[in-house]
Structure 1
Amino acid sequence: MRNTTAETSDQGSRRLWLPLARGLALFGQKVPQLALFVLMVASLAALVSGAGALLLPIVVAAVRRMANRSRRLALAWSGVRIAVPYRAEPEGMTGFIGRMRRFRWLLHDPATWRDMLWTLVDPVVGGVLALLPTALVLYGVEGLAFPFFWNRLTGAGYHDWYAGLIHVHGQAGVQAWLMIPLGLASIALGLWSAPRLLAAHGRFTRRLLAPPPGFALSQRVQHLSETRSEVMDGQAAELRRIERDLHDGAQARLVAMGMNLGAAEELLDTDPEAVRGLLAESRELSSRALGELRDLVRGIHPPVLSDRGLGDAVRALALDTPLAVEVVVDLPGRLSAPVESAAYFAVTELLTNVAKHADSARVWIDIRHDEEALRISVTDDGPGGADALAGSGLRGIERRLGAFDGILAVQSPVGGPTMVTMEMPCVLFSPKTSSC
């Protein structure tokens, strides 16, 4: 019982003093912000000599790191979520030409100038919001301590007003002890205002650092344009692959079969044995062509995916994989055909990568739908170390998911295991037809 009471007391004390400590931490960031503002102004002034083009990107990067830290603190300490407004950095930023492109990109990004304004305004307004509760508490402590040192301080020449009500001069009297309730009131006001001013600081930070109106829409349009271009490129590449497979596979076998049948027709009256051999070879060629056409159709859209849905299609895929694959499916309905196709081929690509590169023996696949999103995780017991930026396989999956506003997350510490999580926003639109 005593331990519970002590813990409750500690929690209550923590709630009282923690906002003050956080306000002091925020106030401690204001001086570096002002220093960065001065550096940004100096970098812009140095553009005349050309040195600013090299210095400005470094300073802006430091400002953005500090601004992102303020966004994180606003969410953690005030519950205020602030979106990151920076435009995507263009590729090819190496070398002198790349540095010039990066410089122009920073100058044309409106967030650069909003951050610059933040480094100037926030130390003033935000500094007051962050420091005022602590100042009130310290002022209250002064009021509590002053009556005990009244004569000594006034004897040293201290003459002033406390809270605008009590004149500190002469010998201590009743008015000195009136400072104690005023000091207690100041401390109470400081403790009461600390969490509220901390929240106000978060809202003020959002006012300065949040994206401008229409930014989310412009980002959405840009994302859709990029994914549309990537999808079109992917479709063109897929069509070229199908054309190549047909030309080199089934078409070649059908041409050979036609030649065999033509030769058999010429030899039908003179060499029946040769005709028999040509017919047997033609039958073998037709069987191979049919198998290749089935594989090709399966690669375009497996029949089991259309008939049975994503769960059974992935189970069938797991049976054809040379690994021990465990599949868990929780889909109470069917998804739209494009989403099912994208998810199926993403899992196919992941299993292919595991078989080729992961050096693992077991794979676990979990497929479920909750909170209006399809979530798929593929985990293997390999040595880890997978990097989404190192190969084209994971990047291709990311592009495929991006067409549906999906995301790909890779967790692959050295030593394993590797977990790849995919998520696509979608809805279930029909009753379950598979056995999952």
Structure 2
Amino acid sequence: MGWPGYRGPLWTLGNFVEALGLLVLSCLSLAMFPFMLVAAVTIPIAGVGLVLMFLGLLVVRPMAMLQRKWAGRVLGVDLPNAYRTVPADARLDDRFKLITDPALWRDIAWLGVNGTIGFVLCLAQVILTIPMLVGMWANPKLQYINAHVSAYLLAPPASAKLQKRVEELATSRADTVDASAAELRRIERDLHDGAQARLVALSMNLGMAEDALERDPALVKEMLTEARTSTGKALTELRDLVRGIHPPVLADRGLDGGVRALALDLPITVDVDIALPSRLEAPVESAGYFAVAESLANVVKHSGAGHAWVHIRHEDGKLRMQIVDDGRGGADIGAGSGLSGIQKRLAAFDGTLVVTSPLGGPTVVTMEVPCALSSGRISPS
């Protein structure tokens, strides 16, 4: 990208207003820079620096994110932040990892540069706007320099991007392992408390029937009838357990047929709109099915909705699933409504979950999973 040239009087006027705002931001940077330096120096002193650093983070990070967004818009690129994140319920020692975050120290370095060089560049743009001819020629170049300086300081290096990606994959792997272990424990519990208990009782009944065969045929008949009933219940429980692991309709008819069958069993009206040109890979189909199932279960349990809509598409190499309901709204991923479980399930496939749920509704749950289509066609419903 070469040096920007003349962009017209309207751009110069807009740049004047923008430069005024950035000038204020550079003044604030100049004030925060020594504050953060003092916080860093006093970290070893009985935690005083830690308190100051956390307070400074509340101001510095939004400032840096604002500058990063502006520089990315000027340069026409996406400037990720690569900040370390910790969950809301993280332990105190985990929160200390924020202090060693390289992104934080890049922000502090930017404060010093933005409070000096950035201040000069923005002030020059404001002053040069007055001699219009000079400003219209010089201001695009000054803005370009300022944006490049900000991008150089605030954008993470390739190694930081790679490190963040590794941390994300490690977290999703741990969540997947935990979820798999919990699922295995559920299956074991269901087998032990359900079918296994019935089969043990059935074995005992058959043993007693064998002992009573000659002396009390009527009792034997009664016990065999009871055994047949227990066998039927055990088979039903085993079928339910298998459906919970991988529903037969999903294997037979794919995600389209599985979701449509799921919607028919719900006590509310669910409109299903699915357009998939072919089958998905089996693991993605399973993850998508259970994500939709858990989302619809949340709608029934928590939303108070009478109507829901399911839209599923495969676009740009991603499976996109959207569940909308006309309920009361207020859904929150961190509120224990099951949404966090869906998020972890999708994270194993590098998927995302976004929830928009203002009070009063509607609630829109959007899920995306990167995936390819398999070669097989979807079986007709």
The TM-score normalised by the length of structure 1 is 0.80
Quote how far apart the aligned CAs of 1:196 are: 3.7
In structure 2, relative to structure 1, the CA distance for the partners of 1:381 and 1:273 (3 Å cut) is same
Match of 2:50 among 47, 53, 63: 53
In structure 2, relative to structure 1, the CA distance for the partners of 1:29 and 1:291 (3 Å cut) is same
Quote how far apart the aligned CAs of 1:130 are: 2.7
Match of 2:266 among 307, 318, 321: 321
Note if contact 2:29-2:115 (Cα within 8 Å) is conserved in structure 1: yes
Match of 2:133 among 188, 195, 215: 188
- Match of 1:214, SS state, is helix
Match of 2:103 among 102, 111, 114: 111
Q: Deviations over 1:92-132 (max 9, x none)?
A: 567xxx3x764x43432222221111111123322333333
Quote how far apart the aligned CAs of 1:297 are: 0.5
Equivalent position of 2:348 in the other structure: 403
What amino acid is aligned across from residue 310 of structure 2 in structure 1?
A: I
Distance (Å, rounded) in 2 between the aligned partners of 1:371 and 1:84: 25
In structure 2, relative to structure 1, the CA distance for the partners of 1:303 and 1:114 (3 Å cut) is same
Distance (Å, rounded) in 1 between the aligned partners of 2:57 and 2:232: 65
Note if contact 1:80-1:203 (Cα within 8 Å) is conserved in structure 2: no
Equivalent position of 1:153 in the other structure: none
Describe how 1:57-76 pairs up with structure 2 within 5 A. Answer: 57-76=54-73
Q: Deviations over 1:243-289 (max 9, x none)?
A: 11111111111122222222222232333222222222111111111
Quote how far apart the aligned CAs of 1:324 are: 1.2
- Match of 1:288, SS state, is helix
Pick which of 74-83 and 344-353 moved more: 74-83
In structure 2, relative to structure 1, the CA distance for the partners of 1:388 and 1:101 (3 Å cut) is closer
Equivalent position of 1:28 in the other structure: 24
- Match of 2:120, SS state, is helix
Distance (Å, rounded) in 2 between the aligned partners of 1:64 and 1:326: 43
What amino acid is aligned across from residue 253 of structure 1 in structure 2?
A: R
Match of 2:200 among 255, 280, 295: 255
Note if contact 2:12-2:129 (Cα within 8 Å) is conserved in structure 1: no
Describe how 1:27-426 pairs up with structure 2 within 5 A. Answer: 27-47=23-43, 49-50=45-46, 51-89=48-86, 92=89, 98=92, 102=95, 104-138=96-130, 140=131, 187-391=132-336, 393-426=338-371
Q: CA RMSD in A?
A: 2.1
Quote how far apart the aligned CAs of 1:90 are: 5.9
What amino acid is aligned across from residue 240 of structure 2 in structure 1?
A: D
Note if contact 1:80-1:206 (Cα within 8 Å) is conserved in structure 2: no
Distance (Å, rounded) in 2 between the aligned partners of 1:352 and 1:329: 19
Distance (Å, rounded) in 2 between the aligned partners of 1:49 and 1:349: 49
In structure 2, relative to structure 1, the CA distance for the partners of 1:379 and 1:91 (3 Å cut) is closer
Q: Deviations over 1:188-223 (max 9, x none)?
A: 231133234323322221101011221111111111
In structure 2, relative to structure 1, the CA distance for the partners of 1:431 and 1:196 (3 Å cut) is farther
Pick which of 284-293 and 24-33 moved more: 24-33
Distance (Å, rounded) in 2 between the aligned partners of 1:108 and 1:352: 41
In structure 2, relative to structure 1, the CA distance for the partners of 1:271 and 1:197 (3 Å cut) is same
Distance (Å, rounded) in 2 between the aligned partners of 1:46 and 1:241: 50
What amino acid is aligned across from residue 293 of structure 1 in structure 2?
A: L
Distance (Å, rounded) in 1 between the aligned partners of 2:375 and 2:264: 26
Quote how far apart the aligned CAs of 1:13 are: 4.7
Distance (Å, rounded) in 2 between the aligned partners of 1:334 and 1:291: 29
Distance (Å, rounded) in 2 between the aligned partners of 1:348 and 1:44: 49
Distance (Å, rounded) in 1 between the aligned partners of 2:42 and 2:228: 80
Q: Deviations over 1:118-148 (max 9, x none)?
A: 111123322333333333332x3xxxxxxxx
Equivalent position of 1:152 in the other structure: none
What amino acid is aligned across from residue 243 of structure 2 in structure 1?
A: R
Distance (Å, rounded) in 1 between the aligned partners of 2:120 and 2:285: 54
Distance (Å, rounded) in 1 between the aligned partners of 2:90 and 2:191: 41
Distance (Å, rounded) in 2 between the aligned partners of 1:112 and 1:120: 13
- Match of 1:333, SS state, is coil
Quote how far apart the aligned CAs of 1:352 are: 1.6
Note if contact 2:86-2:94 (Cα within 8 Å) is conserved in structure 1: no
Distance (Å, rounded) in 2 between the aligned partners of 1:57 and 1:278: 72
Q: Deviations over 1:2-23 (max 9, x none)?
A: xxxxxxxxx9753342123212
Which 5+ residue runs of structure 2 have no aligned equivalent?
A: 1-6
- Match of 2:204, SS state, is helix
Note if contact 1:20-1:191 (Cα within 8 Å) is conserved in structure 2: no
In structure 2, relative to structure 1, the CA distance for the partners of 1:48 and 1:223 (3 Å cut) is closer
Quote how far apart the aligned CAs of 1:48 are: 6.3
Distance (Å, rounded) in 2 between the aligned partners of 1:73 and 1:126: 13
In structure 2, relative to structure 1, the CA distance for the partners of 1:431 and 1:47 (3 Å cut) is closer
Note if contact 1:78-1:198 (Cα within 8 Å) is conserved in structure 2: no
Equivalent position of 1:157 in the other structure: none
- Match of 2:330, SS state, is coil
Pick which of 12-21 and 350-359 moved more: 12-21
Flag the structure with larger Rg.
1
Q: Deviations over 1:63-117 (max 9, x none)?
A: 11211111122234443421112212366567xxx3x764x43432222221111
Distance (Å, rounded) in 2 between the aligned partners of 1:201 and 1:377: 41
Note if contact 1:74-1:81 (Cα within 8 Å) is conserved in structure 2: no
